[in-house]
Amino acid sequence: MTTLLGSDLLLKTNRITGKRVGIVANPASLDASFHHIADRIQDQPGTTLVALFGPQHGFNSDVQDNMIETDHTVDQTRGVPIFSLYSDTRKPLKNMLADLDLLVIDLQDIGTRVYTYVYTMANCLRACRDSGLPVIVCDRPNPIGGIEVEGPLLDQAYASFVGQFPIPMRHGMTIGELALLFNEHFDIGAQLEVIPMKNWQRSMYYDVTGLPWMMPSPNIPTLDTAIVYPGSVLFEGTVLSEGRGTTRPFEIVGAPWISAERCAERANSANLPGVYFRPLAFVPTFHKHKDNMCGGCQIHITDRKTFRAVESAVNLMIVFRQESISDFVWRKPPYEYEHTKTPIDILAGSALLRSQIEANMSIQEISQSWKSSIEEFLQIRTRYLLY
């Protein structure tokens, strides 16, 4: 049975009738029949589409790389302005909201703390609170399921645009549930309504929802990419390639100085569940190590239920650092509007993971250090689960 999205259920009500509406969306904001939320709302009788807002990579998701801002522009097809929320501002300005009666958010999250769309949502909640504007968040599936929770929590001292709140790397919540958590537990206090889905269960991965897979952003081409991303995104904080410029970003990781076979053997010797590290050579066509032959590993998921993305990626980090401590270098700032703190620290949520790796701790010791804070988070999370 196909999952009914929050947007499907919103449009069956009169909540937006007679309203001047703004929409936060991108190309993945589609229904099961490939209709975009902007067109569906514009076609609603008595409803006026006033403005569109785009997250990182743009409303049209046409900016390939991360950390490249997009411009404010005009949607030539729909005849309304597009305001970029990854530009000179990451929060809607008062003039952008002035002609609206309501802001609708319909973004596809991928279940990872560092995915910026949820902080675009948080910033919209703050802006609408300040302008007295109601917000509706249309819920969508967490594509990697709503059960498993993994990885270190953010230390608030390391808050950034890739992490505003103390939640784990893999949080196991939908974007609607996160909206409630941010708004209530973390005291944003906007006038918020979340429209839940129907026919979605926490155990469901995206490919059993009956919905078409649309890339949430340019470097998340497949569901497998989304599954590994909560861990592999940490490689953005290193000089290693996280696979951008290949056909399997975040599933492929490596660098020119790595012996693929030796590192794959070491990584597999940890006997982590649900994963196999396959040695390979690759040449990125853009981004880190562009046009240079790299050795590395492809992360193959052998069992979704037992696979732990963060643990698997940190295991690879340990192995790659052992290959050459002098070549394994942490990336320097700036990174995602942070000009002081080390990128790996704002990705991991604190300096702890970096110090653990530098202290040559085992993957088992590192993953054990996350457990108590995850238990505390699970107690809080329970109050905001919709399914």
User: What pLDDT, on a 0 to 100 scale, did the predictor assign at position 68?
Assistant: 87
> What's the farthest any 2 CA atoms get from each other in the chain?
64
Task: Please tell me the distance from the alpha carbon of residue 227 to that of residue 171, in angstroms, as a whole number.
Answer: 12
pLDDT digits (tens, 9 = 90+) for 138-177: 999 999 999 999 999 999 999 999 999 999 999 999 999 9
Crossing angle of helices 309-323 and 223-232, in 10° steps, is 60
Coil vs helix vs strand at 1: coil
- pLDDT at residue 217 in the model: 95
DSSP state of 219: T
Task: For residue 271, give both structure tokens.
Answer: 């006997």
> What is the helix (H) or strand (E) element at residue 130, kind and residue range?
helix 117-131
The pLDDT value recorded for residue 62 is 85
Token look-up 């940190």 returns 314
Contacts of 39 (CB under 8 A, 6+ apart): 78
pLDDT of residue 4: 98
Give the model's pLDDT for residue 45.
Answer: 94
Q: How many CB atoms lie within 10 A of CB 62?
A: 12
CA nearest 151: which of 203, 205, 110, 112? Answer: 112
Domains of the chain: 6-214 (3.40.50.12170), 223-350 (3.90.1150.140)
| Distance (Å, whole) CA 42 – CA 50 | 9
pLDDT 10s per residue in the chain (387 long)? 999 999 999 999 999 999 999 999 999 999 999 999 999 999 999 999 999 999 999 999 988 777 789 999 999 999 999 999 999 999 999 999 999 999 999 999 999 999 999 999 999 999 999 999 999 999 999 999 999 999 999 999 999 999 999 999 999 999 999 999 999 999 999 999 999 999 999 999 999 999 999 999 999 999 999 999 999 999 999 999 999 999 999 999 999 999 999 999 999 999 999 999 999 999 999 999 999 999 999 999 999 999 999 999 999 999 999 999 999 999 999 999 999 999 999 999 999 999 999 999 999 999 999 999 999 999 999 999 999
| Separation CA 355–CA 223 (nearest Å) | 31
What is the b/e burial string over 333-342, where b = at least 16 CB atoms within 10 angstroms of the residue's CB? eebbebeebb
User: How far apart are the C-alpha atoms of 229 and 16, rounded to whole Å?
Assistant: 35
pLDDT value at residue 110:
98
Asked if 288 and 239 touch (Cβ cutoff 8 Å), the reply is yes
Which pLDDT score is estimated for 67?
77
Query: Nearest Cα to 161, choosing from 284, 335, 336?
Result: 336
